[in-house]
Amino acid sequence: MSNNDLGRWIERELNNRNWSQSELARQSGLHQSHISRIINTPAGDDVPVCGRRAAQAIADAFEASSAYVLRLARITKPPPRSRNFSTWLLGDLLAKGLSQAELAGQAGLPQTVIAGFTRGVLPTAEHIQALAGPLEMPASQLAEIAGLEVSDLRPTEDEIELLEKYRELSPKQQKLLQAMLAVIKEH
């Protein structure tokens, strides 16, 4: 298990996608030994885990927010917590060409709530779950950006139902479903 934030995140992403380090190397254009070094680099105070190019290549391979990966790599420092989420949200809305009103409508939240987020009001776990779909981002990653603990997120009704159905499958069917999900996540 890695002892730096980026390494732990990479390991989780590899596991979630059923990818090897070699597959990440292929997807990112980095050498597999470079990926291994990044994962196994000891965490140091304000010492970057890798360079900007490598962090960007990893973000692109995982289709993740480059700002988030650069922060995990300790290349950029997060703004103060109250500004971190608002700064990220404004940038993401701009990049996606979404207005605050459009995001509010898609998330089923009042526009005043979205406006509050852009002024430094931190979202709750419920807000994170409402925003995840419209922002096309896993709720767990969005929670980390907002400074929330992933454990604060409660499973949605759909997630609970999916888990119940998953548990009814045989081990062979579970493995097949995991492989199918890995393929779906790649596209």
DSSP structure string for 24-37? HHHHHT--HHHHHH
What percent of the chain has a predicted confidence (pLDDT) above 70?
A: 91
pLDDT at 3 (0 to 100): 66
* Amino acid in the structure at residue 135: L
Taking alpha carbons only, the member of 89, 78, 142 closest to residue 115 is: 89
Predicted confidence (pLDDT) at residue 131 exceeds the cutoff of 50? yes
Judged on CB neighbours under 10 Å (0-12, 13-18, 19+), 16 is middle
Distances (CA, A) of 134 to 53, 89, 129, 179, 187: 28, 12, 10, 26, 18
Q: Residue 106 in contact with residue 97, Cβ under 8 Å?
A: no
Half-sphere exposure at residue 167, Cβ-oriented, CA atoms within 13 angstroms: 6
Token readout for 27 is 């997807």
Instruction: Note the pLDDT of residue 108.
Output: 95
Residue 33 CA, chain-centre distance (Å), reads: 24
Judge whether 56 and 29 are in contact, CB under 8 Å.
no
The pLDDT of residue 81 is 47
Q: How much is the average pLDDT of 165-176?
A: 91
Mean pLDDT of 127-145: 88
Please choose, from the candidates 24, 34, 36, 38, the residue with its C-alpha nearest in 3D space to the C-alpha of residue 73.
38
Residue 156 has what pLDDT?
Answer: 73
- Average pLDDT score, the chain: 85
Mean pLDDT of 66-72: 80
Q: Where are the domains of the chain?
A: 5-72, 81-152, 161-186
For the ranges 17-26, 93-102, 125-134, the one whose mean pLDDT is highest: 17-26
Q: Topology of domain 5-72, per CATH?
A: 434 Repressor (Amino-terminal Domain) (1.10.260)
The arithmetic mean of pLDDT across residues 112-126, rounded, is 87
Contact predicate 14/21, CB 8 Å: yes
Q: CATH: 1.20.120.1760, 1.25.40.80, 1.10.10.60, 1.10.260.40. Which one for 81-152?
A: 1.10.260.40
d(Cα 112, Cα 106) in Å, to the nearest integer?
A: 14
Section 124-141 average pLDDT: 88
pLDDT score, position 107: 95
49 contacts 74 by C-beta, under 8 angstroms: yes
The amino acid at 95: A
pLDDT band at 26 (very low <50, low <70, confident <90, very high): very high
Please tell me if the domain spanning 5-72 has the same topology as the one spanning 81-152: yes
Could you tell me the pTM of the whole model?
Answer: 0.47
Helix axes 52-62, 32-40, angle to 10 degrees: 100
Is pLDDT at 64 greater than 90 in this prediction?
Answer: no
